Structure 1
Amino acid sequence: MSRDTLIVIPARYASQRYPGKPLAELRGSTGKAKSLIERSWEAAKRVPSGDRVVVASDSDEILEAARAFGAEAIFTSSECRNGTERCAALLGALDEEPEIVVNLQGDAPLIPEYFVESLIDAMRADPSVEVATPVVRCTRALYDKLVADEKKNIVGGTFGAISSAGNAHYFSKRIIPHFDASKADDDNLPVLLHIGLYAYRPAALRKYVAGEPSQLEQLEGLEQLRFLDLDVPIRTIEVKSPEWEIWELNNPSDIPHIEASLEIMGLE
């Protein structure tokens, strides 16, 4: 088996909330504008253990834009319903199968490279891990804000309930687990925010696409729940929050927040 790590950037043009967002321009610390897909590719290229980076899309416009700035870009079917399915589809277009496939979503250019490295390290240290994903411990201030938002029916993140061994019991858009916040340790709240970044074994991706979307996956709108429904364990890796906010580009109003984080990161 190859020891290579492939980083895939799944990107589609026909986003319901923000069509064409991979081509939206973001300005960095010097005021230079680059597309979201280019900034996501640059984030992937900064990962030390990433042996190969591929943009996977069903859009000729995105593929052409990616190739123009030097990325390897491969067509994947428009029938792919999420990034995990697109990563699985890409496997069939490769000459050699990698050991690990990383899904670095194309709308999250602010993911630190150490998040990705932590997943790769965990999978190389334990060959039994089929899927890995990072979580960040919630601060008291953020928890209070999220609770207030939830009371207004505002969804502010994805949360994981994790076993003592580090495997996910469940993920939800609602805050889990339930606990008496007045008795909790502010420095060690039992609330873990899930970051939408994944590492998989190729065999796990094949299991995923062999199964149908589960009811919970569709109700929550969380693609990773299909793995749990198929009894594929997900190992969670707790990572430290970076100095900048990790914003995903879901709406045009997110652009100023992302640009502010690019400024903190010192990226041109």
Structure 2
Amino acid sequence: METNYKISIPKPCTENWDKMTPNDTGRFCMSCSKTVVDFTAMMPEEIQHFFIQNQTERICGRFRKSQLDNITIQIPSRVLYAQTQYHKMFLLALFIAMGTTLFSCADKDGNKTKIDKVELVDNPEQNESVSVCYGHQIESKKVNSKKPLERTIMGALIAPDSFEKGSFEYDIIYNSNDLDILPVPEDGMKKLYTFLNKNYITPNDTEEKQKKIFILFVVEKDGTLSNFNIVKNTDQKSGAEAIRVLKTASKWIPGKLNNRIVRSSYILPILIQKIK
């Protein structure tokens, strides 16, 4: 028997899709340090498969308003049990309830729309008023076709009726500049830069004697680094190499806000000097 889950967003987000930074997997939102998935060209089966494959991830997504008028995500009951340990079953439930995506939207008057089922809309007419909703998810391929400009809406998740309210909490990623205590490398910033310059391998096609690289990442509560992204016009090869080295570096001391440890985004400038 298939299990249906209904999810909605009470407060649409105001982030601008067009101002997000394109990357290999979609568009990166600087405000929440996440990549947004474009579901506007996906079939219902593809959307469902995506949720199942990413059951433990927190995702952000983008939908057409016409898709979200009636959306139901069906998760086969067997997925909850087959080859899944008990604690992973809970993670799947939590994923559906919250991390799956902040999937609902509001119309132009601010009225909230609850998701009931997925509709596949083929070749919408040119005069159709098309809206796009996206909450926290990751972008996939886009269809190159001439369509009207789409208005985007994002928002925070309302848990589906099948889950107990108050049983989970969204783990916010704060901007490090807003913290009371900034995150820092365990061994100090000076030793981190020494480690980076020692282990960074300059691409062979680089002619510059020195260059500045900017890498954005999230410092988790346990001091590990995640959600790496290349920013500030850093070329892909240099950025990828810097990320490789950062992943092998020591942990960080996480930042604090109101005397509690929080997740935070951090942009690290790295000056690389080429040694002949």
TM-score (norm 2): 0.26
**Higher strand share goes to which structure?**
2
Structure label with greater radius of gyration: 2
